[in-house]
């Protein structure tokens, strides 16, 4: 759409039609103390060549992973993305599509979303999945609200592990601060939920128990035991999962999770400064009517042909606000489409191989780092593709020195925990070669 500013003549004509003499008279109803005085403090205009040159100079300051060796993780990960993902998701039919309110003109989008829901159900083992969420953080918050409403708002506590991602905890606290739901920390032992102590807690006021596995430290929780305790006390079991880990680990349905959420960025979405991404949510069928967002369903038209429609839309835009399950405005359909295409490209066998490579390479690197004098693995429990190391020097010093060698060695935990300034969270994906990992080990050894 072209943008053409109004000329002075245009403005005068409009003022004359509405019976005003000036812009000042038009806005006289707005109190002067809240109106902008003077000029905005913004740069002067540029010509097109100047603007292009300026943008190129800004772009050159960006860091990318093309010439770096990255072991960054903590929620956003580097994975190989097949060319088909960019090509198909970039087609105009998808990249410019709006919400498919009119099914007769939106069958392609609706079918894609329906198939996305199907693969999420296959991945998690659950009965239903919605048409995606904003991201993993808000997906967890929406799941907690779902557990709260499931108990008719009579239970006012949510149990979360101490090892929950700190940023997930912040988003969850923001969601819950005005509805009087208390976040209660589960007891922890060696980076994991202390199941023995959890069983002794009084859970009668707990609406849901969050099971994060792998947790923020990469460790695998005893999901079966935690879910069992939750159900014995009448709580909803909420599983927060790593989607790639599901290629090799048991599905959340196998340990009887009620609701499953996670971050879908690893499924064909670039790291890209941490976004955009998409959250996924799946659940048992009993939560169908309360699930936030949208659900696309399959039906037949008047001629008996297969078709797709928005079957469930419990957003506040569609139904009476007091009956809405959520005020989520939309879904991340384009990013979720990338996830669908990515999983389709890999297939079940390829996805299992992806997960296995992440697992095996992470354990190879962890074992090698643990043999470097002064370095050690912080935790001894089983992990997937992410682990914490303790360094003989401050983590910031280690990370800065390796960054000069074009190695992003991981994320310092002091970013979230001030007392853990010697610890680094290291992530390994299929993108890392043996040479990459050996180079990191030698660089750490030479510090």
Task: Express each pLDDT in 252-281 by its tens digit.
Answer: 999 999 999 999 999 999 998 777 999 999
In this structure, what token pair is assigned to residue 399? 């990370």
As to burial, measured by CB atoms within 10 angstroms (0-12 exposed, 13-18 middle, 19+ buried), residue 27 is exposed
Least confident stretch, 101-105, 158-162, 195-199, 240-244: 101-105
Q: What are the structural domains of the chain?
A: 69-79+349-445 (3.90.1150.10), 83-343 (3.40.640.10)
At 3, the pLDDT band (50, 70, 90 cuts) reads low
CA distance 371 to 311: 56
Question: How many CB atoms neighbour CB 158 within 10 A?
Answer: 24
With a cut of 50, say whether residue 209 has pLDDT above it.
yes
Does 434 score more than 70 pLDDT? yes
Contact 227, 211 (CB under 8 A): yes
DSSP H or E stretch at residue 297: strand 294-300
pLDDT given at position 1:
44
The model carries a pTM of 0.87
What pLDDT shows up at residue 356?
98
Q: Are 218 and 242 in contact (CB under 8 A)?
A: no
Question: What is the structure's pLDDT at 350?
Answer: 98
Predicted pLDDT of residue 315: 61
* Residue 278 C-alpha from the chain's centroid: 6
What is the Cα–Cα distance from 430 to 26, expressed in whole angstroms?
Answer: 62
Residue 200: CB atoms within 10 Å: 10
222: nearest Cα among 200, 247, 190: 190
Q: Which pLDDT score is estimated for 390? A: 98
Residue 316 has pLDDT above 60, yes or no: no
Chain-wide mean pLDDT for the chain?
93
What would the mean pLDDT of 342-358 be, rounded to a whole number?
98
Q: Judge contact between 247 and 274, C-beta under 8 A.
A: no
Q: Quick one: 146 exposed, middle or buried, by C-beta within 10 A (0-12, 13-18, 19+)?
A: buried
């Amino acid at each position: 759409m072209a943008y053409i500013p109004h000329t002075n003549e245009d403005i005068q004509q409009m003022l004359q039609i509405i019976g005003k003499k000036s812009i000042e008279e038009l806005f006289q109803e707005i109190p002067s103390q809240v109106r902008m005085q003077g000029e905005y403090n913004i740069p002067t205009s540029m010509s097109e060549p100047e603007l292009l040159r300026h943008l190129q100079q800004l772009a050159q300051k960006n860091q990318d992973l093309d010439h770096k060796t990255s072991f960054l993780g903590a929620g956003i990960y580097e994975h190989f993305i097949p060319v088909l993902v960019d090509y198909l998701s970039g087609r105009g039919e998808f990249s410019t599509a709006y919400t498919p309110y009119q099914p007769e003109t939106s069958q392609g989008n609706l079918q894609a979303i329906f198939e996305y829901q199907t693969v999420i159900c296959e991945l998690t083992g659950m009965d239903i999945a919605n048409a995606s969420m904003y991201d993993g953080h808000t997906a967890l918050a929406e799941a907690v609200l779902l557990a709260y409403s499931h108990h008719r708002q009579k239970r006012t506590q949510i149990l979360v592990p101490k090892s929950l991602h700190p940023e997930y905890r912040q988003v969850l606290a923001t969601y819950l601060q005005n509805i009087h739901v208390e976040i209660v920390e589960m007891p922890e032992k060696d980076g994991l939920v202390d199941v023995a102590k959890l069983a002794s807690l009084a859970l009668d006021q707990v609406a849901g128990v969050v099971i994060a596995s792998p947790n923020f430290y990469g460790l695998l929780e005893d999901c079966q035991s935690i879910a069992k305790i939750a159900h014995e006390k009448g709580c909803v079991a909420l599983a927060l999962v790593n989607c790639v880990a599901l290629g090799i680990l048991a599905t959340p349905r196998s340990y009887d999770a009620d609701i499953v959420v996670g971050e879908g960025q690893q499924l064909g979405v670039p790291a890209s400064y941490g976004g955009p991404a998409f959250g996924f949510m799946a659940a048992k069928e009993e939560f169908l009517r309360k699930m936030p967002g949208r659900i696309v369903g399959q039906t037949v038209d008047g001629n008996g042909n297969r078709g797709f429609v928005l079957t469930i839309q419990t957003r506040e835009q569609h139904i009476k606000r007091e009956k809405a399950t959520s005020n989520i405005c939309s879904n991340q359909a384009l990013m979720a489409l990338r996830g669908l295409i990515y999983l389709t490209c890999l297939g079940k066998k390829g996805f299992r191989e992806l997960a296995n490579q992440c697992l095996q390479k992470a354990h190879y690197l962890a074992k090698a780092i643990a043999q470097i004098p002064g370095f050690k693995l912080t935790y001894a429990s089983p992990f997937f593709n992410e682990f914490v190391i303790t360094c003989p020097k401050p983590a910031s010093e280690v990370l800065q020195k390796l960054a000069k060698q074009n190695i992003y060695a991981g994320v310092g935990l002091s970013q979230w925990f001030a007392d853990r300034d010697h610890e680094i969270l290291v992530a390994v994906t299929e993108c890392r070669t043996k040479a990459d990992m050996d180079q990191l080990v030698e660089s750490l050894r030479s510090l």
